[in-house]
Structure 1
Amino acid sequence: MTDAPSRIVALDHLRGAAVLGILIANLPGFALPVAAYFSPAAWGGTTLADVTAWALTYVLVEGKMRGLFAMLFGASMLLVIDRADARGGNGAALHLRRMATLFVIGCAHLYFVWSGDILSLYALVGYVALLFSAAPLRLLLFAAAACLLIALANGLAIAGLGTVVERVFGRSTPADLAREIAAMRGGWRSNVAWRWHEEAGPFTAFLANGPETLAYMLLGMAGLRSGFLTGAWPRRRYAMIAAVALLTTLPIFALVAAHTIVRDFDAHTVVLASFVVSPLLRPLTVAGYAALLLMTVQEGRVAAAGRVALSNYLACSIASTALFYGSGAGQFARWDRAALYLLLIPAWAAMLAWPRWWLARFSHGPAEWLWRCAARGTWIRFRRSSCERDAN
């Protein structure tokens, strides 16, 4: 999210891996009723393949790639502010304009494309994160820990909601499922009307998910300040962090997944797994993934995908809803969960193929360029000059 000559390849590499991983978690959200995101028992099949697909996603991906993405958002936010200040500008004012513009983009994505938007949430949390832009490392870590405790308290509160837990995280009722499926298989207006009336808005998401998201943004700011996210630490230290973090947390996630399966995806068990256990363990897992990925940094296709992460993220939503919603091919709730992951092969191929070609000709991804122009209130040169293209 900075100009190309001063980009930090490690951040691009991590961001590219995160946006690829987020698609794994999002596929059930695109294709299946909302309750099925957390539970195969709600919809999408309960065969061995379907349950295994859920378990692998829960253990390895759910919330973890989103956490990594939020960390990188915090790091990039701090870079933008610091670099604007270093140029004699007002970094805080620029950041606020960027968040305002991102909020508009996110709301358009949320209501007109897909209800699983994270951009509007990031924009709202980004306003709060600005308060910590000058905070020392220890304060960032302390505040992140406090936010995670609040997220844990939120999870415990959700677990006590009774009927709401059953509706959103359990098997739901046939009538509710039929209404949602009909809305998603209907036309675009039907989709928008459903999201407007039935889905949580950005401010509700902020109250529910804001504390955990802020924690990851603060950890990202700390990771930038300490050199952890820029690849400045010794390779041996990254290897140690990856081994300790992943070998400690992933087996626990696996045990929780097994317990959830044994309990036949009881709604309260599902909530405890995703909203109570996960916030405690996820930060270590995210740090482990980051350390592992930082051992493989190179200026290749993954880093290029990270430079256009916003464009890739939005393109996935547009392509997926075109396949599953009634305004497109109308495949919503027609695929088994396990079959959905076959889509990763062409999707990842596309996400990795176009960025290098595009960036050789253009200075920014299309969505990134639009965001920059709107936030800065000025036209930014889009196409690279012939000299720039030759240099690449």
Structure 2
Amino acid sequence: MKLAAPSDNAHSGAAAAAPAPAAQSRFVSLDFLRGCAVMGILAMNIVAFAMPEIAYINPAAYGAGDGGNITAWLFGFLFFDGKMRGLFSLLFGASMMIVIMQMTERGEDPTKRHYARMFWLAIFGLLHFFLIWWGDILFSYAAAGSVAYLFHHLSSRSLIKWGLILYAAAFLTISLASGAMLYTQYRAYQPGASATEIRDYRVLIEDTGYGQAAIDRDLAVHRGSYAGILDDKLTEKLFDPLLGIIGVLLETLPFMLIGMAMAQNGFITGQAKPQTYRRFAIWGFGGGLILTALCAAVNIRTAFDPVTVMVIEMNAAMPARLLMTVGYAALLILFIRRFSLACISQHISAAGRVAFTNYIGTSVCMTAIFYGYGFGLYGQVSRPWLYGFVLCAWAVMLLWSKPWLAHFHYGPLEWLWRSLARGRLQPLRRVA
């Protein structure tokens, strides 16, 4: 399958210069996709907000092993895990490319502006990580975006090719680590396994966060004070943002390159033919869902064996995540092209326009709800009930975003980021 061919007028709206932000063209599909992505990310991140980190990928590691817990995990694994992050990465690359194209067509050099944006995004990410929540992606996105810019001069076909090459290289690289983990487990389970082989396996389990000592420590930290949580990050997790860049470059950078291509050829801005989107929706989303279901079946069949879960999460599910991410984009674009005037579509699009503020805002709210310095619910709410908090947060996103944008050009953090990157305060309030 090929992505949509470039259109003669694919960038006419994006390239139009205007004196005021209100006059600038926007791609409705891009805003709508971003709104769906920021809402979907919370649906998966809620477990990481409310439970020890290992519970994010393994429902048997923490919490009851009943049917409700497994069903909630299965729903998240099938439809959200990795797919929303992938969609957000596509959109990050697409938005970045649109800004580059806008500036280039106006005869401006986008390099300085781009790296200023990435610098301040990295600062926001570090503040988010250390002061609010350990699951930050902004710092890693800034790093990946800085590398992705080096590819911006390529055609959409070349960007897709490089994205797929890098994704395949990442898959093969991670496969080596997965193979080593499986081999360590295999040796430990053999009759007559040596004490060294058994010890190596136990160390592997402890290092992946499955040990009871690691879980107890996690609970103690996050049920404690704000000062204790901050101290843990400054002492035990000081270099985690830098280490996270490695994983992001392996998976997120390819998604960004593909998103840049989709901005060039008009796919992600809703300018491809309907049959193109239908084809990607069927083969991408449908095929990816089947592969994801097979991975889920293996996890359940092995009773969520720690090594098996880890291998599937970081390696085996990669092809399915890529297919479903592109399939999601196609499905959502088909929806917004047909129902762009629907009330819910407009509210989701508005949430997407202030996605940065919504993303940070959910971190502030959820940590206040679950951490010890707030309501102290950390580790005490079962997985199915966590979706109640997600629905409430979605309602808040949808209710505040559109009214805010009726009076202001940007969300609060979008405005701050834009002002810092441009070195001067940007107009915020709309003029009647």
Q: How does the TM-score come out when normalised to structure 1?
A: 0.94
* 1:15-164 → structure 2 map (5 Å cutoff): 15-159=34-178, 160=180
Report deviation, 1:154: 4.1
Report deviation, 1:216: 0.5
Residue among 222, 244, 253 paired with 1:205: 244
* 1:154-303 → structure 2 map (5 Å cutoff): 154-159=173-178, 160=180, 165-167=204-206, 169=208, 172-199=210-237, 201-297=240-336, 298=340, 300-303=346-349
Report deviation, 1:153: 3.2
Gaps of 5+ in 1: 387-392
Number of corresponding residues: 384
**Structure 1 counterpart of 2:248, one-letter code:** N
Report deviation, 1:285: 0.7
Report deviation, 1:234: 1.8
Contact in 2 for aligned 1:35/1:167 (Cα 8 Å): no
**Structure 1 counterpart of 2:225, one-letter code:** G
* Greater CA drift, 255-264 or 81-90: 81-90
Q: Which residue of 1 aligns with 2:405?
A: 359
Are 1:335 and 2:381 an aligned pair?
yes
Partners of 2:262 and 2:203 in 1: CA distance: 37
Contact in 1 for aligned 2:59/2:73 (Cα 8 Å): yes
Partners of 2:203 and 2:268 in 1: CA distance: 39
Partners of 1:288 and 1:23 in 2: CA distance: 20
Report deviation, 1:150: 2.9
Report deviation, 1:165: 4.8
Report deviation, 1:151: 2.2
**Structure 2 counterpart of 1:35, one-letter code:** I
Partners of 1:189 and 1:142 in 2: CA distance: 47
**Structure 2 counterpart of 1:178, one-letter code:** D
Contact in 1 for aligned 2:163/2:255 (Cα 8 Å): yes
Report deviation, 1:59: 1.3
Partners of 1:165 and 1:225 in 2: CA distance: 44
Q: Which residue of 2 aligns with 1:315?
A: 361
Q: Which residue of 2 aligns with 1:376?
A: 422
* Greater CA drift, 294-303 or 55-64: 294-303
Quick check: which has more Rg, 1 or 2? 2
1:62-104 Cα offsets, whole Å, 9 max, x none, are 0000000000000111111221233333211100000000000
Report deviation, 1:169: 4.4
Report deviation, 1:138: 2.2
Partners of 2:139 and 2:394 in 1: CA distance: 24
Gaps of 5+ in 2: 1-13, 15-20, 182-200
Partners of 2:328 and 2:101 in 1: CA distance: 26
